[in-house]
């Protein structure tokens, strides 16, 4: 027998038990984004490969190892987007919507990275993110952090998330620090692992982020990036911290936080949890004031973040293990044979006109009454409507209240009035 075709490794199906929770979470998040005056932007899933190598950086993990790139039929190299910022900046430049304007965007959708699949890490995953253009001061940095804090509050998970904050300064700061770091690492070559040795001359700042405890120990003897910060970046960071203090938002300054993508400068932040093992970052972001220019636009202050929805859902399920948001059906409509299909459909369409939020399923196939009742129970229907030969003849319909067992036969034209009493 032919082997069944299965989903691609690391790419999950989301069945109704999942999508009910997802929809509920997404609605909460979107409502808060809209309440800050941010607008949705929808962007293609496929972009030119060069966009990501230019924006994210040639020697980052994402570009070096994680991209799904392919040649299309024209021989052009395209890539399934691994993140949303590059595409958003590309689009904003392309449509000329950044010149002397502020823009506040949010997006939601699938991202693709060729990583080793494990809990909280998939090859197709979903992010909801924000990109803001044209605002220079630390006020917007604080606003983004407050918005995310509001998300956690609305979802009831505040106590499970900690905010890590850092400033990585200007490009010049990093260049200065980078040469200092390389000379320090050169002196301790014998203590470096293969990954660090490879990164030492390509992307040494990422070594700060290393998960290897020996490397972290070694780095304790190294001056931190913070000591090299330029005055403007330091002032920006201090002002951000005092805004967060005023807003009563707790944070932990982590001088080793550098983030995985090259485009960041000044503020970087991550919301982390101890509940998801090594996939502990739920949400990460920061400033990227140089990216618009780097991609061909005019210099534009920019900041954004992205949150991984799979990790958020996992966290919520760990905290609330009994969560089950599949909402029940209100009415299940039983017909005794297919001749009644047309009348049943006409009746329920009228109900849908009158009560648009009602959840209503019609059994379109007819069949045994017992089977149909068990279906109604499976859907958790509160009310069952039954159309049999007798009811059709007299233009009546039977209403059964599944909670009390009470049933009554009413005229079809009085159906809505009678249902309203029950609902």
Q: Provide the binding-site residues for ligand ATP, judged by CB under 6 A.
A: 83, 113, 115, 120-122, 125, 127, 260, 279, 281-284, 306, 308, 310-311
Q: Which residues 6+ apart lie within 8 Å of 53 measured at CB?
A: 63
Nearer to ligand ATP, 205 or 329 (CB): 205
Its sign, for the CA torsion 192, 55, 142, 241, is: positive
Q: How far is the CB of 206 from ligand ATP (least distance, A)?
A: 10
Its sign, for the CA torsion 258, 262, 264, 270, is: negative
Nearer to ligand ATP, 207 or 306 (CB): 306
Q: What is the DSSP string of 173-217?
A: HHHHHHHHHHHHHHHTGGG--HHHHHHTTT-GGGGGG---HHHHH
Cα-to-chain-centroid distance, residue 342: 42
Nearer to ligand ATP, 38 or 332 (CB): 38
Q: How far is the CB of 56 from ligand ATP (least distance, A)?
A: 9
Nearer to ligand ATP, 63 or 185 (CB): 63
Contact 263, 56 (CB under 8 A): yes
Q: How far is the CB of 67 from ligand ATP (least distance, A)?
A: 12
Cα atoms in the Cβ-side hemisphere of radius 13 Å centred on 254: 19
DSSP code of 121? Answer: B
For ligand ATP, the nearest residue by Cβ is: 308
Q: How far is the CB of 301 from ligand ATP (least distance, A)?
A: 20
Q: How far is the CB of 288 from ligand ATP (least distance, A)?
A: 12
Q: How far is the CB of 61 from ligand ATP (least distance, A)?
A: 7
Give the span between the Cα atoms of 11 and 26, in whole angstroms. 20
Nearer to ligand ATP, 45 or 97 (CB): 45
Collect contacts of 220-227 with beta carbons under 8 A, ≥24 apart.
222/181, 222/184, 223/180, 224/255, 224/256, 225/166, 225/168, 225/169, 225/173, 225/174, 225/177, 225/255, 225/258, 226/166, 226/167, 226/255
Q: How far is the CB of 50 from ligand ATP (least distance, A)?
A: 19
Q: C-alpha distances in angstroms, 183 versus 170, 180, 187?
A: 20, 5, 6
Using CB atoms within 10 Å of the CB of residue 138, give its burial: 0 to 12 exposed, 13 to 18 middle, 19+ buried: buried
Give the span between the Cα atoms of 257 and 205, in whole angstroms. 10
Nearer to ligand ATP, 287 or 311 (CB): 311
Q: Which residues 6+ apart lie within 8 Å of 106 measured at CB?
A: 30, 33, 38, 39, 40, 41, 128, 129, 130, 131
Q: How far is the CB of 405 from ligand ATP (least distance, A)?
A: 47
Nearer to ligand ATP, 122 or 177 (CB): 122
Cα atoms in the Cβ-side hemisphere of radius 13 Å centred on 182: 13
Nearer to ligand ATP, 162 or 355 (CB): 162
Nearer to ligand ATP, 180 or 209 (CB): 209
Give the span between the Cα atoms of 84 and 291, in whole angstroms. 13
Q: How far is the CB of 205 from ligand ATP (least distance, A)?
A: 13
Nearer to ligand ATP, 103 or 281 (CB): 281
- Give the three-state DSSP class for 122: coil
Q: How far is the CB of 117 from ligand ATP (least distance, A)?
A: 8
């Amino acid at each position: 027998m032919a082997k069944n075709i299965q989903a691609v490794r690391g790419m999950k199906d989301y069945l109704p038990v999942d999508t009910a929770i997802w929809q509920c979470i997404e609605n909460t998040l979107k409502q808060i984004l809209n309440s800050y005056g941010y607008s949705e932007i929808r962007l293609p899933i496929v972009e030119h490969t060069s966009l990501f190598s230019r924006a994210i950086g040639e020697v980052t993990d994402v570009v070096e190892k994680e991209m799904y790139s392919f040649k299309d039929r024209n021989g052009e190299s395209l890539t399934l987007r691994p993140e949303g910022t590059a595409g958003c900046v590309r689009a904003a430049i392309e449509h000329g919507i950044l010149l002397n304007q502020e823009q506040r965007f949010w997006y939601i959708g699938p991202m693709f990275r060729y990583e080793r699949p494990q809990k909280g890490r998939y090859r197709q995953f979903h992010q909801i993110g924000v990109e803001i253009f044209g605002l220079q001061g630390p006020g917007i940095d604080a606003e983004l952090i407050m918005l995310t804090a509001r998300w956690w509050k609305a979802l009831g998970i505040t106590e499970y998330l900690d905010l890590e904050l850092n400033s990585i300064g200007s490009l010049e700061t990093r260049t200065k620090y980078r040469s200092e770091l390389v000379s320090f690492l050169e002196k301790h070559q014998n203590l470096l692992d293969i990954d660090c040795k490879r990164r030492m001359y390509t992307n040494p700042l990422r070594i700060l982020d290393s998960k290897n405890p020996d490397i972290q120990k070694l780095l304790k003897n190294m001056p931190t990036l913070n000591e090299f910060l330029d005055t403007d970046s330091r002032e920006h960071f201090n002002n951000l911290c005092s805004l967060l203090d005023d807003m009563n938002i707790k944070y932990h300054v982590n001088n080793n936080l550098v983030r995985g993508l090259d485009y960041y400068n000044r503020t970087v932040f991550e919301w982390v949890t101890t509940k998801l093992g090594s996939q502990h970052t739920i949400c990460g972001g920061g400033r990227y004031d140089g990216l618009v220019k780097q991609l061909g636009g005019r210099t534009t202050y920019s900041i954004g973040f992205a949150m991984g929805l799979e990790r958020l859902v996992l966290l919520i399920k760990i905290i609330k293990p009994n969560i089950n948001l599949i909402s029940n059906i209100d009415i299940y409509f039983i017909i005794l044979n297919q001749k009644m299909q047309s009348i049943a459909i006409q009746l329920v369409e009228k109900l849908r006109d009158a009560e648009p939020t009602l959840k209503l399923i019609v059994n379109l196939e007819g069949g045994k009454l017992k089977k149909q009742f068990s279906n109604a129970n499976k859907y958790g229907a509160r009310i069952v409507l039954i159309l049999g030969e007798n009811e059709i003849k007299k233009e009546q319909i039977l209403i059964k209240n599944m909670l009390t067992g009470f049933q009554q036969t009413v005229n079809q034209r009085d159906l809505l009035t009678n249902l309203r009493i029950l609902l």
